[in-house]
Chains A and B, each alone.
Chain A
């Protein structure tokens, strides 16, 4: 089954403790991206990757790192999490660029709810 898999689904951590949220897709998609969702703010893009070893900042990259060493994986790294990074995070992928293609739109993972205390 074609899917984007994020892990973990829920994570509670403390300020300053490094964490990684994994994202993997099995559709051979070139484009991958991370978003955070906060009430009243919608989804905001953190980082995106057009292909392996190519990553770019979205609208809210501060405090986050990403890497794209292989096509299927796009982990989100919080080196020193802070309470303002408490949010719902989504990973997404598409065949090429965020608009995808007519028959292959952007696919989203099920989300990771992160709480930083």
Chain B
């Protein structure tokens, strides 16, 4: 069964600090997708990134970067030079795609509450 673990329940940083949010996943499929979503205080879920299991290249988008390592089943998210507007709950998620009984399921981690203080 697929599983996502975000061990950090809450993180608190001061503006301009770098912060890394950890995500560890479990799956038996060889084909799967990993995601990060942001939920700001307003409550909506904002898509940040999708990564498939065959693409281990790290990705950078502005102050955001993602490190995908299949060897450790991790898909960590780093915010460089954090800002107050980065304060939100961040979710990592996993979707298996080998066509088995779990195809169609999307499993989220517990979420990490990030607070960036001015």
Contact = CB atoms under 8 A, between A and B. Distances in A.
A, B co-complexed: yes
B40 interface: no
B104 A48 contact: yes
B47 A111 contact: no
A43 B44 contact: no
Interface in A23-78: 31, 33, 35, 40-45, 48, 50, 56, 58-59
Contacts of A35: 108
Chain B contact surface mostly: loop
Given A97-B95, A110-B43, A111-B44, A41 B110 contact: yes
B105 A43 contact: no
Say which size band chain B's interface belongs to.
Answer: 20 to 34
A105 B50 contact: yes
B13 interface: no
Contacts of A116: none
Interface in B95-111: 95, 97, 103-111
Given A40-B110, A110-B43, A59 B105 contact: yes
Nearest to A40: B110
Given A43-B91, A97-B97, A99-B97, A106 B47 contact: yes
Contacts of B33: 98-99
Contacts of A40: 9, 110
A11 B47 CA distance: 26
Given A90-B45, A110-B43, A98 B50 contact: no
A45 B107 contact: yes
